[in-house]
Structure 1
């Protein structure tokens, strides 16, 4: 009997131990990595703690131009076990101290605390030095503290060796346990089973039954019983085969008799088949005629398909024309919105400018009277005091109204430029939203509607500000025109938050809301509830396209009749910067 090259039990053992070794390796590596990251986070926390310890003395030393003291502090920091390098720069970016293992820093000064990784496994914490004097702050320089992976490994070295040793001991014990178990329960019984099966004798099957020394009632015991039952069945089949062979001999004799009768029947069937062939020839001719008719029908269908393709091309050209017309209508809607903004701002600017012109005319008249009194030598102290009081009041009135006009024009200028441009820049979201609302102030001047804003300070987003201005303008004007129709004191709430590098805007009003049917078509182009009353149906469609295409975000509208309307807008914050 040929021997197998690799036994089943050996293959099974190798696979089990391979899976266990891989899992043990993955778990051990994961534990080592966790220890490394925990140690690194701890060292980073210690570096940030050093900022509170040394920043005050370093700031004062640099403010007083005491560079030797700054270098002394740097040398003291180098004595700490977690520090491998120290860089201290003044407000001009020049190095006051550069100790140990450091990296090249960017020319820009750090304005906030930043943790950075550097080549070669090093990492550092950079923070600004700010000096406060008489309520004012001055940026006098920055500091970078360096540490490295070697310090981390020195902290976790004992733990790593313990994890590796523990994994090796457990693996060795498990290998020994599996080897014994597989040999006793699988390898030895299989060898005995193979040996007895190889001694099988076809002529004497009753002596080839298996007799294994297996005490447990397992699969091998079941295999022995099934094999012995198979031997018993084989003995029965041999007896039945002997009987069947005799019966087959008798059957062959009868079969010869039947063959003679069959040849006679074949001759009769051949005559019938010749007649059938003649019928088939006739049917073939009919099929050829039908094939010609089918070919003609296919040609007619091909002509109809060509006509349909031509009509489809004409329809596609018509759809392209309709799309261009739609885009032009959308752009016209944006310009119309900006035009309405211009009219409102112009009216509000005329008021302070008119007051300023009146105040300037009054001041000119009083100067003319003072000049006349001076020429006539009739100028008295009382007249001079009266002129000074009136001039002071007039200039204050003139400055306050000119300042108000300047604020209105400045807000309108930024919003108007952004709405006509798609340039991308960094925008302080809260301040920009206030400018947009200020530019819409003329629309709310004759009403008592209120707008409340809840937004984090110094939340800077990088996007096209014109899109933001258009979105908030459309939402606010929709609330004013549609939601607050026949309502005197409406309330608008704008809540803005930052969630996982994503800006979330929740806008809501307490207007009359929308029905379920109108809400389903709320963002459709040319759909409006003010048809024939000045509504174009493009405001919400423009807003949807700006959110989904320009800002790469999503917008969801919710409303019930009498319960107001709310929007949830989400868009990514490409480069978030929150100044602390």
Structure 2
């Protein structure tokens, strides 16, 4: 008997152990990965805890533009075991501090705490720096703390070694146990069974029956009975085969007789088929002619379809070009509106700053005179009292004008930032509308027009604030330019209310109004009644797109000549 190259017991043992090895590796890797995730979550929690510790000092440093203090705090953070790098940015996204192992900033503003994973096993936690002043929150920058896979590995290194050692010991013991069991229970009995089966003699099949050494009633015992039964069946089959050979010889003689009869019938059928083939050939020629005509017609239709596709492609290209030009004009209109606010705010801020400079100069002169009198020993109680009165008046004048300038700049800054940003947030609509009105005061400064806003003080809305600012600004500027043209004094009212599902904004002016024909084209792009005076016709079109597309709302306009213009805007209430 030749020796087998791959024994069944060895193959079975290999597969069993392979499955066990794979399961052991998967479980071990799963345990290591679970340990890694747990440690990473713990480190991320520690990074969030660092925010509560250092956010206030970094916010104060950014607000006071103290870059040295920010860098000192950043260097201190990198000394912590879980921190490999620190980035501190100001409100414009410029780096103030970049210490340790960091990733180049993508320039996006951080509005809330966020965890990010980076290439190279680095992950970070970013949070904004918000400074509260006079009840108002101002974004002054953000901080990004970096950690890495190396820090996590250093914490779980001992646990990994323990898991690997445990898996190796259990695997070695199981291999030894399986090899011993397979050898005694499978390999040796199968070898003896194979030896007996190879001694099979077809001439004496009754002597080829086998016996199994193992006395247990198992699969080997069943294989013995099955093989011995096959031997018995083989003996019976040999006897049946002999009788079948004789019957087959007689059947062959009868088959030869039937073949002669079939050959005669085939000759008759062949003649009939030849005639049928001639008829089919003629029909084939007719079908080929019809196919040629259909092919020519299909080619003509294909040519027409290609021409139509070319025309459609040209039309689509022209349509894309028109949309691009339209978007550029809309963006230019938005920037022009913001530029008008900048000019008005700059002019209005100039007045309180000029008064403040004058008061500060006068106070400086009085201090010099007081110091001279003190040095000359001629300082009297009356002089001192006079100086204190003048100083108090100058300080009060200086503080009042600087506060006025600060309020103007803060209002304009909030509105300007919102108009150039599409980020959504939840804000108080009443306060924000008054900030918009504050930024528009320079525009109405030299007029006698009155603007009145009625809005619930506790009404909050969730959307991009710049959309509300753009809508309100465009409606008021349109009233000023078109509705109050040649009218010295006018009235504008903006009333906000909330029903079951919507926030309703009703805007009303008492300007010259519009006729029915003009009202039908009010929201059309490039429609304007002041084309020869520089009007772009995009103001109301921008308002319509912002309400219907950005806010998913509706807008209606109502007007009659000399009865003013009224807008009714309904916005879905998304405030939780």
Pair 1:7–1:415, CA change in 2 (3 A): farther
**Residue of structure 1 in register with 2:30 after alignment:** 30
RMSD of equivalent CA atoms: 5.5
**Residue of structure 1 in register with 2:41 after alignment:** 41
- Residue number among 513, 538, 551 corresponding to 1:413 in the alignment: 538
Pair 1:404–1:226, CA change in 2 (3 A): farther
Pair 1:7–1:403, CA change in 2 (3 A): farther
Contact 1:21 1:171 in 2 (8 A): yes
Pair 1:296–1:64, CA change in 2 (3 A): closer
In the alignment, does 2:184 pair up with 1:150?
no
In the alignment, does 2:443 pair up with 1:454?
no
Pair 1:190–1:64, CA change in 2 (3 A): same
Pair 1:7–1:411, CA change in 2 (3 A): farther
**Residue of structure 2 in register with 1:305 after alignment:** 294
Pair 1:286–1:138, CA change in 2 (3 A): closer
Alignment of 1:492-511 (within 5 A): none
Contact 1:430 1:456 in 2 (8 A): no
**Residue of structure 1 in register with 2:554 after alignment:** 437
Q: CA offset at residue 213 of structure 1?
A: 2.4
Pair 1:16–1:141, CA change in 2 (3 A): same
For residues 541 and 182 of structure 2, the distance between their equivalents in structure 1, rounded to whole angstroms, comes to 82
For residues 95 and 351 of structure 1, the distance between their equivalents in structure 2, rounded to whole angstroms, comes to 44
Deviation per CA, 1:264-290, whole angstroms, max 9, x where unpaired? x99x989x95x996x679657745752
Alignment of 1:349-364 (within 5 A): 356=484, 359-360=487-488
**Residue of structure 1 in register with 2:213 after alignment:** 213
- The secondary structure found in structure 2 opposite 1:120 is coil
Contact 2:87 2:144 in 1 (8 A): yes
Alignment of 1:392-541 (within 5 A): 394=489, 401=509, 413=538, 416=541, 432-433=550-551, 437-438=554-555, 440-442=556-558, 451=570, 453-455=572-574
Contact 1:59 1:129 in 2 (8 A): yes
Contact 1:359 1:397 in 2 (8 A): no
Structure 2 regions of 5+ residues with no counterpart? 324-474, 495-507, 514-521, 529-534
Structure 1 regions of 5+ residues with no counterpart? 335-346, 361-393, 421-426, 458-580
For residues 94 and 237 of structure 2, the distance between their equivalents in structure 1, rounded to whole angstroms, comes to 102
**Residue of structure 2 in register with 1:293 after alignment:** 282
- The secondary structure found in structure 2 opposite 1:159 is helix
**Residue of structure 1 in register with 2:230 after alignment:** 230
For residues 52 and 197 of structure 1, the distance between their equivalents in structure 2, rounded to whole angstroms, comes to 82
Contact 2:89 2:97 in 1 (8 A): yes
- The secondary structure found in structure 2 opposite 1:224 is helix
For residues 352 and 150 of structure 1, the distance between their equivalents in structure 2, rounded to whole angstroms, comes to 64
Deviation per CA, 1:75-111, whole angstroms, max 9, x where unpaired? 4423422122233345566655444333443566645
For residues 207 and 305 of structure 1, the distance between their equivalents in structure 2, rounded to whole angstroms, comes to 79
For residues 510 and 126 of structure 2, the distance between their equivalents in structure 1, rounded to whole angstroms, comes to 45
**Residue of structure 2 in register with 1:10 after alignment:** 10
Contact 1:61 1:67 in 2 (8 A): yes
Contact 2:127 2:143 in 1 (8 A): yes
Pair 1:89–1:222, CA change in 2 (3 A): same
For residues 48 and 75 of structure 1, the distance between their equivalents in structure 2, rounded to whole angstroms, comes to 18
For residues 91 and 447 of structure 1, the distance between their equivalents in structure 2, rounded to whole angstroms, comes to 39
Pair 1:109–1:227, CA change in 2 (3 A): closer
- The secondary structure found in structure 1 opposite 2:157 is helix
For residues 126 and 154 of structure 1, the distance between their equivalents in structure 2, rounded to whole angstroms, comes to 23
Pair 1:280–1:11, CA change in 2 (3 A): closer
57-66 vs 284-293, greater mean Cα deviation:
284-293
For residues 130 and 69 of structure 1, the distance between their equivalents in structure 2, rounded to whole angstroms, comes to 17
Deviation per CA, 1:236-284, whole angstroms, max 9, x where unpaired? 455667x759x95x998x999x89xx99x99x989x95x996x679657
Pair 1:216–1:63, CA change in 2 (3 A): same
Q: CA offset at residue 10 of structure 1?
A: 0.8
For residues 204 and 397 of structure 1, the distance between their equivalents in structure 2, rounded to whole angstroms, comes to 120
Alignment of 1:11-410 (within 5 A): 11-67=11-67, 69-91=69-91, 96-106=96-106, 110-237=110-237, 244=243, 283=272, 286-287=275-276, 289-291=278-280, 293-302=282-291, 305-306=294-295, 309=298, 356=484, 359-360=487-488, 394=489, 401=509
TM-score by length of 2: 0.52
